[in-house]
Amino acid sequence: MARGHGFSVAFSAMALLVTAGLWADFTNSDCGGGGGGRDGHVRPSRKTPSPAAEAEGWIQKAPNLVARLKPAAVPSASEGRPFVFFHVRKGGGSVLRQLIEDGAAARNLTRWIPCHTPELCSPFSLLPNDALRDVYASHVNFADVTKLTTELAMETKKEEFLKSTMQVVRPREDGDKAEAGAGGAVTVHTLPEEGERKSFDCLTNLRSTVSRVVSCWNYRMNQRGQSVGLGHGWHKIPSGNKLSARDWSAMLPVAYDQYMTGCNNEIARLFGDKIDEKEMNTLSPTRATTNDPNPMFLHQFNIIAARMAKCVIIIPERCEESIAVMRHYLPWIDGADQLCGLKMNASNRKETAKELTTNSSDAILAMNQLDKLLVQFGEALFDIQYKIAKNKS
C-alpha cells in the first residue's frame, strides 16, 4: 500500500468491518450516576461535574476504598466466595490467567479459564451457568458475574441471601396501612448500593491507554491477518506506526476485530453496563451531533469506578510492584514471581507507542477519554494497594 493513499484505502477497508448493529441489552443502572459519595457509593449529584473533576473525586476516596479490601482466602464456590479475574485485553492478562490456572489446579479448584483449562478458547465472554465455579478468568462483564453468582447462590443459600437484602420501608401517607403490617411498615428486598455489593473476590489488570490501544491494533487488527477485499485485490490493515493521527481518528471508531469488538474503552466492556458495542467504542464526554455533555459518560464512569474499587489491581508494566500486591492480596495464586518473566500472546510488531507518528497519541486519547480517566483512578488504587502490601511484607 502506497503511503500517499494509505489513508483512503485503509479507511475504506476498515469501514467494511463496521458492525451492523450488534445490540446488547441495555440494562438498568444498578446504581445512581453523577457522583461518588464519601463512602464510595454512587449517588446522583445536583450539578454535573466535569469528567476530570469526577475522576479526581474518586482518586481522593481511593485510600478509604482500598481499606475495605482484604487479602483473599482460597476461592470457594460452596462457601459463596468465588474468584474472578476481569481480563483487560492487551494488558498482560494472559500471563495472569496462566498463573491463576496453576494456582487453582494445585488446589484442585473448579474453574473456567478459556484457553488455559481444557475449555475451548471460545466463547470467552459468556459464563457457563450449569454450576458455580471456584475460579473464573476471562474477558467477562462485572454485571454478568454479579447476576450469575446471585442466581446460583439462590440455589444453595436462598435464606441467607434473602435476609441480606431485606429492608423495612413505609408506604405512602395515603397508602392502606391496614394491609401494610404492624405500624404501617413494609419489608421488601432491595438492591444494595454499588459500593456494598460484592459476591466474589476479584482481580483486574491495567495498562496505559495509548500503549494498550496500539497493542490492541497491532495484534487484533494487523497481526492476525485482517484484510478486506475492495473488488480489486486484498488490502491488509496497516500496523500502528504507519498510521497518521488522522488515520487513527478515522479508523478507531469504526474498526472491529473478528469478534466484532473495537479497541477503544476496553475497561468499560468489563466493568460498565452492557450497551451497544458501537456506542461503547465511541463513548465520549460530549455528544457527537451537538457537542453537549453526554450524561452516559459520567454514568458509566461512576459505575465502573465503584466496581473497580472492589478488585485487586495489577499493572504488568510495573511488574515488581505487582508481584508484591499479588503476594499480599492473592496469596493462593502460586508463581507470582514469574509475572516479570513470562510473555504470552504478545504482538510480533516491534514498534511501540513511542514510535507513533506526530500527534497520534493525542488522537488515540481523544477517543479513549473514559479509559484514560479509569486508568488514572486504577493507578491510584494500585499505588495504595502496593503501599499496604509493602508495609505488610
CATH class of 10-152+195-392: alpha beta
Of the candidates 275, 269, 271, 277, the residue with the CA atom closest to the CA atom of residue 296: 275
**Greater model confidence, 286 or 347:** 286
* The predicted structure's pLDDT at residue 191: 60
- Say what the pTM is: 0.79
Q: Is 376's pLDDT higher than 50? A: yes
State the pLDDT at residue 29.
35
- pLDDT for 120 equals 76
Taking 80 as the threshold, does the pLDDT of residue 7 lie above it?
no
| pLDDT tens, position by position, 195-249 | 455 689 999 999 999 999 999 999 888 866 555 433 444 457 888 999 999 999 9
pLDDT score recorded for residue 170: 60
C-beta of residue 157 within 8 angstroms of C-beta of residue 80: yes
| pLDDT tier for residue 299 given thresholds of 50, 70 and 90 | very high
Model pLDDT for residues 72-113, shown as the tens digit of each residue: 999 999 888 999 999 999 998 999 999 999 999 999 999 999
Letter string b/e over residues 253-268, b meaning 16 or more CB atoms within 10 A of that residue's CB: bbbbbeeebbbbbbbb
Enumerate the CATH 3.40.50 domain ranges in the chain, comma separated. Answer: 10-152+195-392
Find all residues with CB under 8 Å of 38, minimum gap 6, and list them.
61, 64
- In tens, the pLDDT along 241-275 reads 999 999 999 999 998 888 889 999 999 999 998 77
Task: Count the residues in the chain.
Answer: 393
Query: Has residue 344 got a pLDDT over 50?
Result: yes
- Cα–Cα distance between 390 and 384 in angstroms, integer? 10
Residue 26 — pLDDT band, cuts 50, 70, 90? very low
Q: Is the pLDDT of residue 32 over 50?
A: no
Averaged pLDDT for residues 303-311: 96
Flag whether pLDDT at 20 surpasses 50: no
Instruction: Tell me the per-residue pLDDT of 234-250, one tens digit each, with 9 for 90 and over.
Output: 457 888 999 999 999 99
Supply 254's cell numbers: 469504526
* Band of residue 392 on the pLDDT scale cut at 50, 70, 90: confident
Across the chain, what does the average pLDDT equal?
A: 80
Q: Where are the alpha helices (DSSP H) in the chain?
A: 6-15, 51-67, 93-106, 142-156, 158-164, 209-216, 245-251, 266-271, 277-281, 295-308, 319-329, 360-366, 369-392
